[in-house]
Structure 1
């Protein structure tokens, strides 16, 4: 069955000059819209194509790759404004409509917005900014430590809201996230914890805590050696400075220097840590 607004693997059933047709099942033959289709295609080949309904209400296919499919969230730039709404660039020749009814706040040409793609009542692809109508607060079937795809949404007092796998809301806590994040940024993250209410706490690093401390200890020793045996940082230093230097949270840093101190490999001074001469 053909899925509109998504990639489908279809079979070439006709070729006339450089015009191709695909088997669309109950939809009939679907034309390839690309004018510069490769001449290596032949009848019987199976090809992955993006299928959608164009402005003439015809079902067509393209070999081009849009920035998002239906049911996906994306960070798209407003290309133009019209009486119908805003048009967003999404990687295909015909821009994507963001109707007035699906907008939040004033839309400015040239700025980007976080949207979700959907099929309207005519099965045409459109965009919406009303993410809460589609993205769920409660998630099921995830496990702690599982890798997920994230898109950063709004910054909050706690940290950052993120869309998980285009379906669920999750939270990256500010106290555990030190790298700069931008709205609309797509990256891989991990489930830190599925809370009792089935809401998701997220992290950007999968490494287990004990392994993280051990790796940080080695990094501290290496940086101390590189800097002449002294670094002006302690467990009282600002988390941001610790992260900029060692790439870890203050909690991990404190555990690491505590372990090194017990091993008598460093001395913790009032203003910094110093490498112990092992000679």
Structure 2
């Protein structure tokens, strides 16, 4: 295996002069005075045909034989920067993401926030690992906080679009397209989330520090209608009776319906007031219509 030239390393973006050209492509002067150290810029990695003595900006990476190789396709992020990147495949040791360069960059398990899948787009930071190889991490809280700006000219009820960058028991943090930091409390989450998910959210509170609290739930009137519909749909699928009432523990209600117990009780009360359901002995029953089937 040819040793990697000490002047440059994989992941570098450098400007080099074309020393010579042959049928494979161009060889770039590595600056060692030894032509055997020159770096190949293959024809397939050229954005235009290069000529001798021309200087070109290139991205350096290792080819399948671990030789230092150049490409004119430059990465969309530099070392220390953050960006939303696409997962191109997963392995037993982690995953690889697309940073716009010739090769995917490794995302180790230690740098993941939850499990990622091919096609996911996640916030990531580019860095060099202990072996001096480029890698990315999804631990970007500090960088996103620095990149964020305070929420201005917004109010409760306004809609935003954000990407989940951290998920924990109490809820999730999102980075919005406006560059706001948004907190989504667990009680305001209506479906299972994963880091990298992009979703519309509604502002519920604008904090003094410029961040916002948000919800996936519609406003109360709309939520009441949606929640009541969920209860009726479950009754229809369970022969008109379900083992959930006002006395059912909140954690069970949350797991089954994805809503808080108070929201469940409001919807149940609305349905009972409309004489659509009734509660007896720890069960909720759908009240049959007086109109016979034809």
Q: TM-score range by the shorter chain?
A: 0.5 to 0.7
**Aligned in 2, Cα 1:267/1:154: closer, same or farther, shift over 3 Å?**
closer
Structure 2 distance, partners of 1:248, 1:34, is: 58
CA RMSD of aligned residues (A): 4.9
Q: CA deviation at 1:75?
A: 8.3
Q: CA deviation at 1:97?
A: 7.9
Question: Counterpart in 2 of 1:262?
Answer: 273
Question: Counterpart in 2 of 1:147?
Answer: 160
- Which string of whole-angstrom CA distances, capped at 9 and with x for unpartnered residues, describes residues 122-145 of structure 1? xxx985645314425763246333
Question: Counterpart in 2 of 1:44?
Answer: none
Q: CA deviation at 1:260?
A: 1.2
Are the aligned partners of 1:264 and 1:276 in contact in 2 as well (CA < 8 Å)?
yes
Structure 2 distance, partners of 1:154, 1:258, is: 33
Question: Counterpart in 1 of 2:260?
Answer: 249
Are the aligned partners of 2:151 and 2:212 in contact in 1 as well (CA < 8 Å)?
no
**Aligned in 2, Cα 1:232/1:59: closer, same or farther, shift over 3 Å?**
same
Question: Counterpart in 2 of 1:113?
Answer: 112
Q: CA deviation at 1:224?
A: 1.8
Q: Does 1:203 align with 2:215?
A: yes
Q: Among residues 68, 72, 85, which one is paired with 2:83 in the alignment?
A: 72
> Which secondary structure does the structure 2 equivalent of 1:233 belong to?
coil
> Which secondary structure does the structure 2 equivalent of 1:236 belong to?
coil
Q: CA deviation at 1:237?
A: 1.8
Question: Counterpart in 2 of 1:61?
Answer: 73
Question: Counterpart in 2 of 1:223?
Answer: 234
Q: CA deviation at 1:154?
A: 4.2
Structure 2 distance, partners of 1:97, 1:215, is: 43
Q: Does 1:89 align with 2:89?
A: no
> Which secondary structure does the structure 2 equivalent of 1:201 belong to?
strand
> Which secondary structure does the structure 1 equivalent of 2:73 belong to?
strand
Report runs of 4+ in structure 1 exceeding 6 Å deviation: 56-59, 75-81
Are the aligned partners of 1:154 and 1:162 in contact in 2 as well (CA < 8 Å)?
no
**Aligned in 2, Cα 1:254/1:33: closer, same or farther, shift over 3 Å?**
farther
Unaligned residue ranges in structure 2 (runs of 5+): 1-24, 26-40, 47-56, 62-67, 114-122, 129-133
Are the aligned partners of 1:242 and 1:249 in contact in 2 as well (CA < 8 Å)?
yes
Question: Counterpart in 1 of 2:223?
Answer: 212
- Which string of whole-angstrom CA distances, capped at 9 and with x for unpartnered residues, describes residues 88-108 of structure 1? 72225434489xxxxxxxxxx
> Which secondary structure does the structure 2 equivalent of 1:212 belong to?
helix
Report the TM-score, using the length of structure 2 for normalisation. Answer: 0.54
Unaligned residue ranges in structure 1 (runs of 5+): 1-18, 20-31, 38-50, 82-86, 99-108
Structure 2 distance, partners of 1:162, 1:118, is: 20
Structure 2 distance, partners of 1:211, 1:34, is: 59
> Which secondary structure does the structure 2 equivalent of 1:147 belong to?
strand
**Aligned in 2, Cα 1:60/1:214: closer, same or farther, shift over 3 Å?**
same
Give the paired residue count.
Answer: 219
**Aligned in 2, Cα 1:210/1:52: closer, same or farther, shift over 3 Å?**
farther
Structure 1 distance, partners of 2:143, 2:201, is: 24
